[in-house]
A = this chain, B = another copy of it.
Amino acid sequence: MASLPTFADVQAAARRLEGVTLRTPLLENARVNAMLGGRLFLKAECLQRTGSFKLRGAYNFLALMSEADRGKGVVGWSSGNHAQGLAEAARLLDVKATIVMPADAPALKVANTRASGAEVVFYDRIKDSREAIGQDIARKTGATIVPPYDHPWILTGQGTAGLEIVEQAKAAGVTLDAVAAPCSGGGLATGIALAVKGLSPATSVHAGEPAGFDDLARSLSLGTKQTNAKLSGSICDALLAPTPGDITFALAKTLLGPGLVVTDDEVLDAMETAFREFKIVVEPGGAVALAAALTGKLPVKGRTVAVVCSGGNVDHATYIRALARRAA
């Protein structure tokens, strides 16, 4: 493996993203703080362009490609946030994008991806391999494959959210004891860890995962890469990567504290709290770190903690299900 990305790479990514990505707010709520007995800050990446943090890494990747490569286009596979982030990054940089999506992907996500000008190629989840289809497109057209997390350009782009968190906390006059972010393949959590450790070495950084899909938590605990037993079955549709990436795991081993694992019910409750107290729309996978803080799995009592709410691309029915848990 080549050398691992560094704090300086995240700082360079931040310069590339200036004027492109939104500096999303770091929210705080007096009532929630009183309830938890500490200070909890939410980094509202659901408000990011395309509705999740994914534009950060995708844009950084495309900006680092050679002009010749950009001329041949990019290809990626995703049914969700990476698709929308990559398609929008390509639109902004005038690059042709092809996104391989499952034939049964939600109509809204397909429409959103197409609205950014990307070409959508469908595959059958049972019969086809999306990787094979994407690699075939890359081979035939010369397009560059843009991976969802296991690449230095991607994860350092995502890490720019971590720079903002520490800067915004400093502006609020606080030093963070801990930062937590949702984790699928680990690009966001490790990118943020690079940034946070670079600016505030004493702050611990944690990755949150859904129960049953806690491959990173178990990998960190055992010291070697573990794989999830199931490929589906959590409400957190964005967090189902089967195993950590090679680069992300190498970084995670040195940068991350113990993993945080939450249940679907805890995630739904966190979505409802985000609605009621913070007025932001958070999707299930985007709410796992918040859920860990609200349940005490990530202790807030007597401490100052920031959690990333990483996306808000949730369908109406799931959102109504979360709100219906609490009449008010």
Contact = CB atoms under 8 A, between A and B. Distances in A.
Interface in A135-152: none
Interface stretch (A7-15, A44-52, A197-205): A44-52
Q: Which of A29, A34, A276 has the most CB of B within 10 A?
A: A276
How many copies of this chain does the complex contain?
Answer: 2
Interface residues of A, number: 41
B30 A115 contact: yes
A328 B312 contact: no
Interface string A107-119: 1100010011000
Given A279-B281, A316-B326, A316-B327, A22 B30 contact: no
A105 interface: no
Contacts of A36: none
A236 interface: no
A24 B279 CA distance: 12
Interface in A163-199: none
Interface stretch (A219-227, A245-253, A294-302, A317-325): A317-325
A133 interface: no
A88 interface: yes
Interface in A8-64: 22-25, 27-31, 34, 44, 46-47, 49, 51
A51 B279 contact: yes
Contacts of A23: 25
Contacts of A112: 31
Contact of A279 (B46, B107, B315): B46
A320 B116 CA distance: 29
Given A275-B281, A279-B280, A116 B27 contact: no
A122 interface: no
Nearest to A25: B25
Nearest to A309: B279
A279 B319 contact: no
A47 B27 contact: yes
A328 B107 contact: yes
A123 interface: no
Given A116-B30, A319-B323, A328 B279 contact: no
A115 B34 contact: yes
Nearest to A45: B279
A199 B44 CA distance: 29
Contacts of A281: 275, 279-281
Contacts of A275: 281, 316, 319
A47 B278 contact: yes
Q: Which 3 A-B pairs have the closest CB atoms?
A: A279-B312, A279-B281, A46-B279
Given A30-B116, A316-B326, 18 more contacts: A22-B27, A23-B25, A24-B25, A30-B88, A31-B115, A34-B115, A47-B280, A107-B328, A108-B276, A108-B328, A275-B281, A275-B316, A275-B319, A276-B316, A279-B282, A279-B312, A316-B323, A319-B323
